[in-house]
Structure 1
Amino acid sequence: MLALCVPGIAVMFSPQFAPAIKSIIKHPGEWANLRDGIRRTTPLWNNAVEGYSSFLYALGTTNDKAIAVVGRDGWVFLGDFFNKNMSQALGRRHYNEVELSAWNGTVGGQEQWLAHRNIPMLFVVAPAKWSIYPDKLPQWSEGRIGTHIFDQLLSSPQHLPLIDLRPSLQQARSIGDTYSPFNSHWTDFGAWVGWKEISKKLATLNPKFMDLYVPPADGAVVNPNYGSEFKAMISLPEPNPWTMPKLASPLPEFAIVADDGSAQVVPGSTHTGLLDLPRNTRNESAKKRLRALVLRDSMGDSLSPYLQAAFYETIQVRHNIDNQSLAPNVPALIEKYKPDVVLYVMTERHLDNVLSESYLWLSANNYDLAVSQGARVNVANESPALTTSGNLDLKGPFALTWADSSKGLRTVRVSLKASASGILKIQGVKDGRPVEFAERYAQGDNELFLSLTSEVEGAQVSFENMDPSVQVSLGKVSMVVQDAK
């Protein structure tokens, strides 16, 4: 009876207990969040949970297999709660034809649009731990692993700008671990191996990327207790060995540039973490004045020191492929920064998310094609052929009207600025009936492209902001018409 009562008594003495109870009375749904605060301030609870997790781990299992799965030699892998990670590891989650088409359309369309501006693009799928250490997966997975999504993409007839880092990362295991037992990310050594291959690939895309700085290293060193990623997830406080390259010399210092232009010089070993994004860095000692736009996730943390050492300037932005409603508007980023290269760095498990911007890139390329073929760019209210009416802040009706009756492909470019991400509803007329479609806009600056083929007939489209709480201001609106074949 005492054993049953002690934990409850210990919790009552937590400094967070009384405030939590008061909050729960008013907002019962807050219990899940407040419980963690009580647990963190109750040592007995923490110790009991950690002891229980360690006991289960010793038996080869965890208290939540959706979060963590124990493999061979004690290695732990993320479960299906994280982008169906284990289902992807086993090849049970793969793309159908619709998903493959959407991925090809988004990445291939973006590559085409960037190429028109002489900007190379490279999409780095940072391998999942199970891609490099399949021998550490659970014993029961032996002989049950099917085709992975990344292999589907690599074998696609449309040659996407992908790089396969798996062979190099597997080969480097003979020198040092490129991943670790209790973390899902590549180690600093693994990121260094990855950067070597990325720099080689960039050199094949354009000669100006020849001789990008790769810090020389003589083997690897190990930090025996880097910390377990799974301590916060399942209260498993195991020491995690972390391998780092043994660099011949320190990385060059660089500056973190704030929005107001001020700069703070920091050591070259400084990581740019996921929570630091967006971040602009500048390295005056870089061999070439090259600017890289890096759209990335947490796999870019360990990679960031090498990027910051190689490029004169990096603009690092979270890609949010795992939450595409918050993804940045890439055309606007290109217009603002005019980078020499666009790099995506995405952890492999995010392939569970199907990319959804093929329409944007198709429309953007239609706009470019029409202009290259000599189509006139009609700017709203600067040309009699194109006019607007209504509120530029979209707090009321806003309409775009054109005078010509050409039957060719009509593509509209809309510049707007938004205080948060949201959805723009576009309405037109087809066969005498209203038709609607939607376009996502991002927080900040946006360049949106709309191809009005079968969606709209007539001489007008209207725009409506679906979230009135978001402040939107429309800028330049233009349209081109590509002659019908």
Structure 2
Amino acid sequence: MKSTSNRDVLSSKPIAPISSWRALIIGILLAVALFHLFPLLKLKNPDIAENRVLASAPELPKNPNDWSALPAKLDSYVMDNFPLRDFLISGLNFFRYKLGYSGTSRIIVGQHGWLFYDDGTHLSIISGSLMLDDTSIDYWVKGFQQRAEYLKRKGMKFYFMVAPVKEDIYPEHRPEWMPANRTTTEIDKIISAAKSAGYDQIVDPRAALLTEKYNQKLYDEYDTHWTGLGAYIGYRQLMTRMAQDFPDMAPLPISAFKPLSPSSSEQPRDLSLMLGIADFVPHNRVTFAGVLTHDPNKTTFLSDNHSWVAPQILHTDAKTGKTLLLLRDSFTTELLPFLKAHFDTIIMAHLQDGFFRKDLIEKYKPDAVAIVIIETGTRHTMSLIPELDKN
């Protein structure tokens, strides 16, 4: 019997025809050419907001450590800057979105195409599965009491407004794994405990929003924040409470304010931008807030930072003689146009710089101090401040 050598076995394997290799090489060259020639088409990149700075080209290494770090820096630069990147991200994320899931950990796709922001708690505060214990709620109320009493001694009023998240107002659009109906949350317990302690300055517009949500578009699928119509309801609730202390502060009818018509690229749409699908879905909401927070000629910035989060003073034409210190987050963007009608001066500071600004209170002596914060951020706001008890 004739044996078969390894050489015979190897020689018996089929060899790809030259035409196949030629096709592979041509395919690779075409792919490389496509990546380099695509920018010449000058197509508009999809709108994406990744909330980070993309990697820049690394500098020429100057020492051994720089050389060892160079490969990783080059990888990051190539990944962040290769042609077609934005198109591939947007296209893939839109495909995922249509299948009902997200391409980023910060966004959750709910039912009926609604998007929700995940702050790291996976919507557990609104589902009721994450809740402050009774001791923590008692401390929160003590912190509120401390601030209210400090301002009362100075002849100032104190208000706190909860800006509801849309998964609380529209439970029917939540992800299927969330409770289908609204349930008791820590915010309910906090407000109840504060009222029991004798404080009614916490403005909770949720009931009013729930009543009106079937008549108007108060939130939409593709942004975290309330629309201008939703913000108007919040404003109406806040000024109704303020009017108990300032009788001339009653809320104005919505007809007193003019809605704007921003271009599609200026529409509030933070969630669709984060996901990279903003160019593929419709954006249509009523807004009263422009791109600029306020007329620059009537704005005094209190630092070198001139962004929307910067501490600043807005000088309005209200002619009421009243000053407001507004400690706020992004939900106040839509609220601000309404408040300008009631205060000559609005001093604004973002909550990222502190949940209570004793320095601004002492310097500017406002008539009222208001904190407006997203519902799920309420738990973080009322830590005790020892120096408040000394004034």
- Pairwise TM-score range, normalised by the shorter structure: 0.7 to 0.9
After TM superposition, the structure 1 = structure 2 runs for residues 336-415 of structure 1, keeping only pairs within 5 Å, are 336-353=363-380, 355-356=382-383, 358-360=384-386, 363-365=387-389, 367-368=390-391
1:103 aligns with 2:140: yes
What are the superposed Cα offsets for residues 106-143 of structure 1, whole Å, 9 maximum, x if unpaired? 22210111112221111011101112111110223245
1:310 aligns with 2:370: no
Contact 1:192 1:245 in 2 (8 A): no
Pick from 249, 253, 257 the counterpart of residue 299 of structure 2. Answer: 257
Distance, in Å, in 1 between the alignment partners of 2:321 and 2:94 is 51
Q: Which has the higher helix share?
A: 2
Pick from 277, 285, 289 the counterpart of residue 243 of structure 1. Answer: 285
Q: Please name the residue that 1:112 is paired with.
A: 149
Q: CA deviation at 1:4?
A: 12
Taking structure 1 as the reference length, the TM-score comes to 0.60
User: What count of residue pairs does the alignment treat as equivalent?
Assistant: 336
Q: CA RMSD in A?
A: 3.9
SS at match of 1:204: coil
* Cα distance change on mapping 1:91 and 1:123 into 2, 3 Å: same
Pick from 1, 12, 19 the counterpart of residue 57 of structure 2. Answer: 19
Contact 1:83 1:349 in 2 (8 A): no
Pick from 271, 274, 297 the counterpart of residue 329 of structure 2. Answer: 297
Q: CA deviation at 1:199?
A: 1.1
Q: CA deviation at 1:332?
A: 2.0
Q: CA deviation at 1:72?
A: 1.3
Q: Please name the residue that 1:280 is paired with.
A: 313
Distance, in Å, in 2 between the alignment partners of 1:254 and 1:275 is 11
Bigger radius of gyration: 2
Q: Please name the residue that 2:270 is paired with.
A: 229
Q: Please name the residue that 1:393 is paired with.
A: none
Distance, in Å, in 2 between the alignment partners of 1:116 and 1:191 is 31
* Cα distance change on mapping 1:220 and 1:193 into 2, 3 Å: farther
Q: Please name the residue that 2:354 is paired with.
A: 327
Distance, in Å, in 1 between the alignment partners of 2:74 and 2:348 is 31
What is the identity, as a one-letter code, of the residue corresponding to 1:303? L
* Cα distance change on mapping 1:105 and 1:17 into 2, 3 Å: closer
Contact 1:176 1:243 in 2 (8 A): no
Distance, in Å, in 2 between the alignment partners of 1:25 and 1:12 is 32
Q: CA deviation at 1:13?
A: 10
Q: Please name the residue that 1:168 is paired with.
A: 208
* Cα distance change on mapping 1:338 and 1:57 into 2, 3 Å: same
Taking structure 2 as the reference length, the TM-score comes to 0.73
After TM superposition, the structure 1 = structure 2 runs for residues 175-194 of structure 1, keeping only pairs within 5 Å, are 175-194=215-234
Distance, in Å, in 2 between the alignment partners of 1:22 and 1:8 is 27
Pick from 116, 119, 133 the counterpart of residue 77 of structure 1. Answer: 116
Q: CA deviation at 1:153?
A: 0.8
SS at match of 1:46: helix
Pick from 147, 172, 178 the counterpart of residue 184 of structure 2. Answer: 147
Q: CA deviation at 1:336?
A: 0.5
Q: CA deviation at 1:224?
A: 8.9
What are the superposed Cα offsets for residues 21-77 of structure 1, whole Å, 9 maximum, x if unpaired? 758956949969994x7666444111111111111111111123x311111110010
Contact 2:108 2:115 in 1 (8 A): yes
Q: Which has the higher strand share?
A: 1
SS at match of 1:343: strand
Distance, in Å, in 2 between the alignment partners of 1:188 and 1:222 is 12
Contact 1:294 1:317 in 2 (8 A): yes
Distance, in Å, in 2 between the alignment partners of 1:297 and 1:340 is 21
Query: Percent identical across equivalent pairs?
Result: 21
Q: Which has the higher contact order (CA 8 A, sep 6+)?
A: 2
Contact 1:227 1:239 in 2 (8 A): no
SS at match of 1:342: strand
* Cα distance change on mapping 1:91 and 1:312 into 2, 3 Å: same
